Amino acid sequence: MEEGPRTTLFLSSSRKNLVVQFLLKHSIDGVLTRGAVMEAAEEHGISRKTVYRLWKKAKQQMQMGEPAIMEGKVKGYHHSNKLILDEEKACLTQIMVFRGGNNYKVPHINKNRLERTVGLPNALDVDEELVRDVLEYLWI
């Protein structure tokens, strides 16, 4: 499993699970065999302390009757309270203006400025007359 030196201190969930699987293979009735921790540390390019920490958490999970699944602490950065305004939504209005053509310019919404000043809108404004024209165009 040589992947070279780690470039970050972040250890992904899949790598943690690989380490725990390795340790489970080298354990007998929940007790690690001699040298298993050092071998796991060298094979996966992590410190012994990290291996012991993962093993301790895996043992706790197994004692509670759960499978030993390691999850990362980093969950990601989510904007749950923000509306996603992307270029596709703004482009749809331009597509309607050009009646399905692709010779339009991509409109800029200035999301950053809107977030700082008045906040992001809940919906994009579309001229009612434009919608009627497009509907007429589609039905003809």
Q: What average pLDDT does the structure give for the chain?
A: 77
Residues 102 and 130 both lie in one domain: yes
User: How many domains does the chain divide into?
Assistant: 2
Q: pTM for this structure?
A: 0.48
Confidence band (pLDDT; 50, 70, 90) for 131? confident
pLDDT at 1: 47
Predicted pLDDT at 40: 92
Q: Are residues 19 and 39 in the same domain?
A: yes
Sign of the torsion formed by the C-alpha atoms of 30, 34, 35 and 39: negative
Higher pLDDT, 38 or 81: 38
Domain residues for the domain of 66 are 1-76
Query: How far is Cα 140 from Cα 71, in angstroms, rounded to an integer?
Result: 56
Looking at the structure, tell me whether residues 48 and 100 fall in a common domain.
no
Q: Is the pLDDT of residue 38 over 90?
A: yes
Query: pLDDT category, 48, cuts 50, 70, 90?
Result: very high
